[in-house]
Chains A and B, each alone.
Chain A
Amino acid sequence: MGKDGREERYFIRMTRSERIQHLILMLSVGILVITGFMLEGERWVIESFGSAGETIFYWRGILHRIAGITLILLSIYHLYYILFTRDGRGWIMDMLPRLKDIRDFYHNLLYFVGLRKERPRFDRFTYQEKMEYFSIYFGVPIVVISGIMLWTEYMWNKFYLDIARAFHKGEATLAALAILVWHLLTVFFKPGNYPLNRTFIHGRISEKEVKHHHPLWYERLTGRREDS
């Protein structure tokens, strides 16, 4: 119930399929990051595992590969989803980068430093969310190709393997830090979200939030302009 006694209205921001896809992505990337960076640990950290180290190393490799395959399959499914399902097409159409995003970015920066009075009027996805989403399109092919090369090491030139390792590690570091700084920091700690923005669990977003953060989307969905 809202403050004025009316039922609070919600919009669906993530469909069930999208939520499950997000969950799988979250788990697989989480496992990949943890088991991957276990290879980059300092020697004293690694050696502190003692006699359990061998077992840990074995499962590290297995889990990394399982999570990697999961990520590949998920990516393929997602391509199917955005091309051949109605919800998916809606998702990708809202996600596609437009000229407005560059303008929004610029205006948002101006707003941050006080040179503009209002935030830009965002649609369903802000430029930040679009960049996060499309960085997966950039990063996943790199880690997948280099990862498969490292997995089938025996058939590649060592020079290409060294390149693959450099890309795999570099891209993984970039992705992990980007997720940490832009995604996790936002959903956990952005004022208004703390302790956690639960949209990824129930898929809902409140009318108030939509009006406030995604006014263009609100207009599109309801046909009403929300200026207040």
Chain B
Amino acid sequence: MKIPISLILMVLIFTPGPLLSADKENCLMCHKYSGMGRYETVLSGKGRKRIFYINKDLFKETVHGELRCKDCHSDVTKIPHDRVRKVDCAKDCHIQDPSSGKEFSHRRIAELLKKSVHGVEGTNNPRYRKDLPTCTYCHNNPLNTVSDSKDHLYFLNICMQCHEKEEWARRFLKHQFYRMGKRRSSKEIVALCSSCHENKRMMDRHKLDVVIGFRDTYHGKAIAYGNEKVANCLSCHAPRSLGFTPHSIVSKRDLRSPVNPANRLKTCKNRGCHPGATREFALGRKKIHPSGVEGLIKLASYRPPGGTENPSKGSDPPLPEALSEEVFHEKVVYWINTGYKIAIALIVGGMLMHQTLDFVATIRERRREEEEDG
């Protein structure tokens, strides 16, 4: 038996239910179905899975849970709708900014980002615009993950002395708590930054150093343990307490950058991390964590990324002086490590052989003694 589509639609439309009550625009009529989605094989050829299912209860708990769908997806004018464009985070919202009375917008952040090394205007190579992170590459409409802690309830009581609606007060409070706390763990920040900055080909395209060894540094290991006090990427490249934000990161070659040698000492001392830091400590090496070409020891055969486009020319351009010093430093450390590896192999290997021979000889002796005794 074949069921006509119109019948299914009729059933859907007239489905009564408290489930849809908050959904004034009726988007959940379709988007409440968890099977909703498709594979984008035909259009982009990438085979990406797209899920269009919206869990109403979960969405309500997100930072954007108060907004209506069309506030952001403004090009949807009819149901069923056509293909929708990507959401522009810099557009004006229908929510008022209580501080100015104007329509709220993320435009100011978008402008900052545009000028930063991650933006179209600040990047070294605007040709590869697609590599640049968009708002949604890092931000994903997170949940207001604030639990109903004791503090939270304490303050909620204070709110409720004047304000009538508890739901509103709870939401407002959650927003405050959420914004004041640390929203991402260091582990998440390292994973997020590494998702691009460990990609050598992408970094080469933008004439940036690929980050390779951060996770093996002391900071990296501490972060793996879950320590939140040691520096993650943002602590040095965009320290908020020194007035930087993650949206305005600039290249370390930029004089404004907190990791530029001109500002590095201040950055190391920041937040009580290394309060007694000396100039020696901050400026002793050009690179704080291994970055550059994979395995810095290979730097001897380093070619500036620009030079790789014409490999047929052969002769390598001479190393910049600063870089050759780095190569020397890295070589010293490399030879110490190698020296120890050889020493360990020889010494411990020799000991193991000596032990084996000694054990065999001792067993032989003991057998002989037993024979003599018996």
Contacts and interface: CB of A to CB of B under 8 A. Distances in A.
Contact of A159 (B218, B329, B339, B347): B329
Contact of A46 (B224, B280, B348): B224
Interface in A63-97: none
Q: How large is the interface on B (under 10, 10 to 19, 20 to 34, 35 or more residues)?
A: 35 or more
Interface in A128-142: 128
Contact of A56 (B225, B358, B359, B366): B225
B160 interface: no
Contacts of B362: 190-192
B222 interface: yes
A188 to B, nearest CB: 12
Interface stretch (A23-31, A165-173, A219-227): A165-173
A153 B217 CA distance: 14
Interface string B156-188: 000000000000000000000000000000000
Interface string B201-231: 0000000000000010010011011111000
B355 interface: yes
Interface in A104-121: 108-109, 111-113, 119
A47 interface: yes
B219 to A, nearest CB: 11
A64 to B, nearest CB: 12
A189 B352 CA distance: 13
Contact of A39 (B218, B280, B351): B218
B130 to A, nearest CB: 30
Given A154-B278, A159-B329, A190-B359, A171 B227 contact: no
A220 B225 CA distance: 56
B337 interface: yes
B340 interface: yes
Contact of B351 (A109, A154, A167, A178): A178
Contacts of A54: 225-228
A109 to B, nearest CB: 8
B281 interface: yes
A156 B278 CA distance: 7
A158 interface: yes
Chain A, interface SS category:
helix
Contact of A170 (B332, B339, B351): B339
A186 interface: yes
B288 interface: yes
B255 interface: no
B361 interface: yes
A182 B225 contact: no
B333 interface: yes
B126 to A, nearest CB: 34
A182 B281 contact: no
A10 interface: no
A43 interface: yes
13 contacts: A43-B215, A46-B221, A56-B225, A112-B358, A112-B361, A154-B274, A154-B275, A155-B276, A156-B281, A157-B284, A158-B281, A166-B336, A166-B340
Interface of B: 215, 218, 221-222, 224-228, 268, 274-278, 280-281, 284-285, 288, 329, 332-333, 336-337, 339-341, 343-344, 347-348, 351-352, 354-355, 357-363, 365-366
